[in-house]
Amino acid sequence: MLVVSEEVRTAVAERRPVVALESTIIAHGLPRPRNLQVAEELEAVVRDEGAVPATIAVLDGAPCVGLTKDQLQRVAHEDGIRKLGHRDLPLAVATAASGATTVSATALLAARAGVRVFATGGLGGVHRQWTQAQDESADLGLLARTRIAVVCAGVKSILDVGATLERLETLGVAVAGYGTDRFPGFYLADSGHPVDWTLHTPDEVAEVIRAQDALGGPDAALIVANPVPRAEQLDPALHARVLAEALEACEERGITGQAITPFLLGELVRRTEGASLEANLAAVRGNVRLAGRIATAWAGR
């Protein structure tokens, strides 16, 4: 059922470096035509680091690991592309639907295809006011049972970052800062929360991946939290002000549940005049570049 491109399948079989890339940012995170330009740019960054890109999506009910140029264009330009978490995959397959994969779906399909390194922007996590709504991203539970290294810029700053870190600890998901002892905040280099472990080189990350395999413990992800460069982060004061105003607007308008995240992200883009989007892209580029280097270091085992 899993359709793995010949390039990715061969690279995995020959133990050459491969980096998984999610497709939600292409279909739902960026405006056209920039979304396709960014998708092609990110694949090029992976290749520049000596690795094979494996962008993942579901097309006509087929989970695809590694997309052709035509398939990438479909994800970027076709109307009706759904947003698929891992729980949606059986439904999409059975109904021959097409969709872009979130972190949870991408991590699952990548691991099934034998891809060990995955780059994304920011993880989902525990939402603010969890005690009332008990709203938590499916990313966390999936990563607790999937052996994959995820390079990200932390979790989205609209979430409860402290509670998310506590939840990851409870679930047994390892978290390490890359070159930092602070957990990044997606648009920000520092979320205000520390991390217990710091890794400094791709080789060190690769050693942790090897140690996971050697220990043979429960299948769980390794989160490599790579901060956006401070020169490219969103201004922290602007971020704090806009987020506070957007949260207040949620309260006033009665926006709840799954509608909260897209509303807050949209408000951040609008009220920062696109600066939050540029910080997001800076973080994604850095994560993809680092993931390529980690995959190369791990493949050299």
- Residue 43: give its domain's CATH number: 3.40.1790.10
The answer on 294 and 159 residing in a single domain is yes
Q: In this predicted structure, what is the pLDDT of residue 266?
A: 86
CB atoms within 10 A of CB 7: 15
Higher-pLDDT residue of 232 and 29 is 232
pLDDT of res. 301:
61
- Answer whether 117's CB lies under 8 Å from 19's CB: yes
Let me know whether 256 and 174 are in one domain: yes
pLDDT of res. 257: 65
- Rounded to an integer, what distance in angstroms lies between the CA atom of residue 125 and that of residue 113? 25
Residues 255, 156 within the same domain: yes
Residue 4 shares a structural domain with residue 127 = no
**Residue 135 reports pLDDT greater than 70:** no
Q: Last residue of a domain, which of 97, 115, 133?
A: 115
Please state, for a pLDDT cut of 70, what percent of the chain lies above it: 96
Token pair of 69, please? 């140029």
Kindly tell me if the per-residue pLDDT of 122 is higher than 70.
yes
- Tell me what pLDDT residue 218 has: 87
Q: State which residues form the domain around 277.
A: 121-301
Domain boundary among 68, 86, 115: 115
Asked if residue 206 and residue 137 are part of one domain, the reply reads yes
Query: What is the average pLDDT across 141-164?
Result: 93
Residues 256 and 297 in one domain: yes
- Tracing tokens 């800062």 back to the chain, one arrives at 177
Average pLDDT, whole number, for the chain? 93
What distance, in Å, lies between the first and last C-alpha atoms of the chain? Answer: 30
For the chain, the domain total comes to 2
CA-derived radius of gyration, the chain? 18
Same domain, 11 and 93: yes
pLDDT of the residue at 134:
58
DSSP letter at 154 equals B
Q: Are 162 and 175 in contact (CB under 8 A)?
A: no
Cα separation, 117 vs 11, whole angstroms: 13
Q: What is the pLDDT of residue 195?
A: 97
Confidence of residue 280 (pLDDT cuts 50, 70, 90): very high
Nearest residue to 163 (alpha-carbon basis) of 188, 197, 140: 140
Whether the pLDDT of residue 282 is over 70: the answer is: yes
Mark which of 115, 150, 182 sits at the end of a domain. Answer: 115
User: Six-digit token pair at 93?
Assistant: 């397959």
Query: Which residue reads 């999409």 in tokens?
Result: 92
What Cα–Cα distance (Å) separates residue 97 from each residue in 1, 18, 60, 271?
A: 14, 26, 5, 35
Looking at the structure, do residues 137 and 92 belong to the same domain, yes or no? no
What would the mean pLDDT of 149-157 be, rounded to a whole number? Answer: 93
Lowest mean pLDDT among 2-16, 20-34, 254-268: 254-268
Q: Do residues 156 and 281 both lie within one domain?
A: yes
H helices of 51-102, in order, are 69-77, 89-94
Kind of pairing between the strands at 18-21 and 3-4: unpaired
Do 127 and 47 share a structural domain?
A: no
Q: Tens digits of per-residue pLDDT, 187-225?
A: 999 999 999 999 999 999 999 999 999 998 889 999 999
For the beta carbon of residue 194, count every other beta carbon within 10 angstroms.
13
Angle ∠(5,53,168) on CA atoms, nearest 5: 110
Is the pLDDT at 272 greater than 90? The verdict is: yes
Residues 70 and 200 in one domain: no
Lowest mean pLDDT among 19-33, 65-79, 117-131, 150-164: 117-131
Per-residue confidence band for 130, with pLDDT thresholds at 50, 70 and 90: low
Same domain (yes/no): 3, 110: yes
Q: Which residues are catalytic?
A: 22, 156
pLDDT tens digit sequence for 45-62 = 999 999 999 999 999 999
